[in-house]
Amino acid sequence: RPTQSDYAAEAAFAFSPRDQKDQPRALLAEAGTGTGKTLGYLAPAALWAERNHGTVWVSTYTRALQRQIAREGLALPDHEGQTRRRVVVRKGRENYLCLLNLQEMVQQAQLGAGDVVGLGLTARWAGACADGDMTGGDFPAWLPGLYAGPAAHQPTPANLVDRRGECIHAACAHYRRCFVEKTVRAARHADVVIANHALVMVQAAFDGARAARHPTTDSETAALKRIVFDEGHHLFEAADSAFSASLSGQEAAELRRWIRGPETRARRGRGLEQRLGDLIGDDGAARKALGDVLAAATRLPGEGAQARILRGSESGAPTGPVEVFLAAALDQLRARADPRGGSEDQGMECAARPAIPDLITAAARAAEALAAVEAPLLALSRHLEDVLTEEAETLDGGARARIEGALRGLDRRARMTLPSWRAMLNDLASGDAAGDPEFVDWLSAESAFGRLSDVSLRRHWVDPTQPLEATVIRPSHGVLVTSATLTDPDFGDDPFHLARLRSATGRLETPVRTLKVESPFDYASQSKVIVVTDVPRDDPRRTAAAMRALFLASGGGALGLFTAIRRLKAVYGLLGPELGRAGLPLYAQHIDPLDVGALVDVFRTERDSCLLGTDAIRDGVDVPGRSLRLLV
């Protein structure tokens, strides 16, 4: 297509050599839906990777688009016409099967505490799968519905993955076969790495900080030099989330468990002493630091903390300075939360300032407790860094991998998480009514199943493009931010003005190049928009009746989008039988035991089917032709 060819030619600018340090080649490119921008930027990206033996990171906001990019990237031929592109999809650890968790569940099942059939099928899948991805790869979407149950010992995708930060890295018997480690290793040598915005930002911030302290460190940031941000209109929101901080009861309790290990028999895991004891040897300073951090961690929330914080005297008084602080935060929430914005069964929010006296006092003590944890963690980190440097010639591959894995965990908590928590608490303890002008702080209480589940102190940047520019955009050599909706015609002569602000590229000294490519499709003459104004959205019966009439009129091929999952489920219950009698299959996100990608594949294949979903089905999903003829 001519517009696609123009787009690809201009996209090559982001892959040309930069002229100045800290001044990447930046391009903002809007391409109307139907242009084919995925192939448009993959073509120059793959060519650059092939010629320079480098890696291009493609960042998206949705998993659906990741699947599409991976599919098209694998089909790109090299200069010899061979389709041998090394394309790797990077996701967080919580997306991949943990072989150690699977092994332990199989052992429990053999003793009668688990589902042998479900675990057997999972093991067969693990032996044949491509990458161990349980949330969007080739994992059978129907399998969790087979064996997931209410019993605590029943296996589910949630407890077959590493959600609790308890990976023991090279000390694990499955380390060489670990799906996460395989993906990380493959990404270092890939032509194209596909990830989401959050992972790219956190990876750049974390590895960039390590590289600044140790310029010779071989970190992944060396590969984050050419970045394509697809779905770039979500970049600001993704940065707002990625660079935020949250001190909650659950997060603080998880930190204690990571340091001390499980303090009851109900959970698997190993504390720092079990993970690092043999690595630090007999070094007196390191042994003292380890003892100090184990002792300091007892002041963090422990078992039963949620009940003590949320229900007070019913479950015992809060113990430790962090629990006391969160209990005082809950008192302020109950006193000041706007009833129109929520209630205890729905969650609450209120401003952190002005703080009640008890909260100010508790914040100072909680900050001291966190400082007592942070200092020995930093000492342990420095000791392991010295071991890597001074004993490099005598360390075998397994020991080096264990130390590097331990350092990643120590640095993430001691140099990122704990300092951000302490900064929030110290600002609150100062009693300053204004607070730090660069941040906005507030208190929140989360709800689950109609009751409070956790309390948090939250902090977000007022302008999250500041850390985005400093840690991601400026250190790169070339950045392409693309989307179907980047421009704003209200800005007259410069429709990209808002896109520059929200993508942080406007902070660069060198001019940012822009491109606007119109869609090749004439939507105005090929589509019809009907605005329905007489159906109240809060009445699921009338909404279902309206959708039923529209879906029947189109003969299927219809997609219904919702902003609330509860409303979606109510409409599904009323809509399904009527459409079934008309021979139109109805599928729904959050109801059918299939992931979003599988649901869309079914909808695309069955051309007269109907589908209900949320924005996860809208964003980054390609359904061409007659499969989608009506959108409600």
With 60 as the cut, is the pLDDT of residue 630 above it?
A: yes
Answer yes or no: do 232 and 250 share one domain. Answer: no
> Would residue 181 count as lying in a domain?
no
pLDDT given for residue 210 in this prediction: 65
Cβ(367)–Cβ(457) below 8 Å: no
DSSP per-residue letters across 368-425: HHHHHHHHHHHHHHHHHHHHHHHTTTT--HHHHHHHHHHHHHHHIIIIIIHHHHHHHH
pLDDT given for residue 150 in this prediction: 46
Cβ(160)–Cβ(121) below 8 Å: no
Where residue 220 falls among pLDDT bands split at 50, 70, 90?
A: very low
The length of the chain, given as a count of residues: 632
With 80 as the cut, is the pLDDT of residue 564 above it?
A: yes
Answer yes or no: do 549 and 597 share one domain. Answer: yes
Number of domains in the chain: 4
Q: What SS3 state is found at 494? A: coil
Other CB atoms within 10 Å distance of the CB of residue 617: 24
pLDDT given for residue 67 in this prediction: 84
Summarised one tens digit per residue, pLDDT across range 302-334 is 988 888 998 765 667 899 999 999 999 999 999
**Rounded-to-integer distance, Cα 182 and Cα 88, Å:** 10
Amino acid sitting at position 164: R
**Rounded-to-integer distance, Cα 248 and Cα 457, Å:** 6
Answer yes or no: do 328 and 477 share one domain. Answer: no
Cβ(141)–Cβ(117) below 8 Å: no
> Would residue 180 count as lying in a domain?
no
Determine if the peptide bond prior to 24 is cis (ω within 30°): no
Answer yes or no: do 477 and 567 share one domain. Answer: no
Strand partners, 609: none
**Sign, CA torsion 448/452/455/458:** positive
| Burial class of residue 254 in the structure, from the number of CB atoms within 10 Å of its CB (0-12 exposed, 13-18 middle, 19+ buried) | middle
Answer yes or no: do 249 and 379 share one domain. Answer: yes
Answer yes or no: do 303 and 389 share one domain. Answer: yes
**Rounded-to-integer distance, Cα 89 and Cα 75, Å:** 15
Q: What's the mean pLDDT in 489-505?
A: 90
> Would residue 510 count as lying in a domain?
yes
Q: What's the mean pLDDT in 22-33?
A: 94
Nearest residue to 421 (alpha-carbon basis) of 386, 390, 377: 377
Tokens of 465: 């493009």
Q: What's the mean pLDDT in 589-603?
A: 85
Summarised one tens digit per residue, pLDDT across range 515-533 is 999 988 888 898 899 999 9
With 60 as the cut, is the pLDDT of residue 583 above it?
A: yes
With 90 as the cut, is the pLDDT of residue 111 above it?
A: no
Summarised one tens digit per residue, pLDDT across range 72-87 is 887 777 766 666 668 9
Query: Parallel, antiparallel, or unpaired: how do β-strands 192-196 and 558-561 relate?
Result: unpaired
Cβ(72)–Cβ(179) below 8 Å: no
pLDDT given for residue 514 in this prediction: 96
Nearest residue to 475 (alpha-carbon basis) of 48, 10, 57: 57
If one compares 586 and 264, the residue with the highest pLDDT of the two is 586
Q: Please state whether 457 falls in left (phi above 0), alpha (psi between -120 and 50) or beta.
A: beta
Q: What's the mean pLDDT in 492-506?
A: 92
Cβ(257)–Cβ(380) below 8 Å: no
pLDDT given for residue 62 in this prediction: 85
If one compares 510 and 81, the residue with the highest pLDDT of the two is 510
Q: What's the mean pLDDT in 29-53?
A: 92
Cβ neighbours of residue 127 under 8 Å, at least 6 residues apart?
Answer: none
Summarised one tens digit per residue, pLDDT across range 136-146 is 778 887 777 66
With 60 as the cut, is the pLDDT of residue 70 above it?
A: yes
Other CB atoms within 10 Å distance of the CB of residue 432: 12
Mean pLDDT computed over every residue of the chain: 87
Answer yes or no: do 150 and 272 share one domain. Answer: no
**Rounded-to-integer distance, Cα 284 and Cα 266, Å:** 33
CA 238 from chain centre, in angstroms, equals: 9
Q: What's the mean pLDDT in 384-400?
A: 79
> Would residue 49 count as lying in a domain?
yes
**Rounded-to-integer distance, Cα 195 and Cα 298, Å:** 37
> Would residue 179 count as lying in a domain?
no
**Rounded-to-integer distance, Cα 289 and Cα 165, Å:** 21
Which of residues 435, 459, 483 is at a domain's end? 459
The model carries a pTM of 0.87
Q: What SS3 state is found at 260? A: helix
Cβ(481)–Cβ(229) below 8 Å: yes
Out of 272-281, 286-295, 538-547, least confident range: 272-281
DSSP per-residue letters across 211-248: HHH-TT---GGGGTTEEEESSGGGHHHHHHHHT-EEEE
Which of residues 437, 459, 481 is at a domain's end? 459
Strand partners, 558: 610, 630
Question: What is the residue range of 232's domain?
Answer: 2-86+189-242+464-517
Q: What's the mean pLDDT in 598-604?
A: 89
Q: What SS3 state is found at 571? A: helix
With 80 as the cut, is the pLDDT of residue 376 above it?
A: yes
Cβ neighbours of residue 222 under 8 Å, at least 6 residues apart?
Answer: 211
Answer yes or no: do 452 and 574 share one domain. Answer: no
Summarised one tens digit per residue, pLDDT across range 411-439 is 889 999 999 999 999 999 998 888 899 99
**Rounded-to-integer distance, Cα 269 and Cα 498, Å:** 47
With 70 as the cut, is the pLDDT of residue 125 above it?
A: yes
Answer yes or no: do 326 and 435 share one domain. Answer: yes
> Would residue 182 count as lying in a domain?
no
Summarised one tens digit per residue, pLDDT across range 241-275 is 999 999 999 999 989 988 998 777 555 567 888 87
Q: What's the mean pLDDT in 179-198?
A: 90
> Would residue 183 count as lying in a domain?
no
**Rounded-to-integer distance, Cα 504 and Cα 197, Å:** 14
Answer yes or no: do 355 and 256 share one domain. Answer: yes
Cβ(385)–Cβ(410) below 8 Å: no
Which of residues 174, 199, 216 is at a domain's end? 174
Answer yes or no: do 80 and 120 share one domain. Answer: no
- Percentage of the chain beyond pLDDT 90 is 51
Cβ neighbours of residue 19 under 8 Å, at least 6 residues apart?
Answer: 510
Nearest residue to 100 (alpha-carbon basis) of 228, 268, 311: 268
**Rounded-to-integer distance, Cα 540 and Cα 464, Å:** 38
Cβ(498)–Cβ(488) below 8 Å: yes
Domain CATH number, residue 492: 3.40.50.300
**Rounded-to-integer distance, Cα 90 and Cα 223, Å:** 13
Q: What's the mean pLDDT in 144-156?
A: 54
Whose structure tokens read 């951090």? Answer: 293
Answer yes or no: do 274 and 380 share one domain. Answer: yes
> Would residue 446 count as lying in a domain?
yes
Other CB atoms within 10 Å distance of the CB of residue 294: 17
Tokens of 194: 């596909």
**Rounded-to-integer distance, Cα 300 and Cα 262, Å:** 14
**Rounded-to-integer distance, Cα 191 and Cα 223, Å:** 10
If one compares 476 and 595, the residue with the highest pLDDT of the two is 476
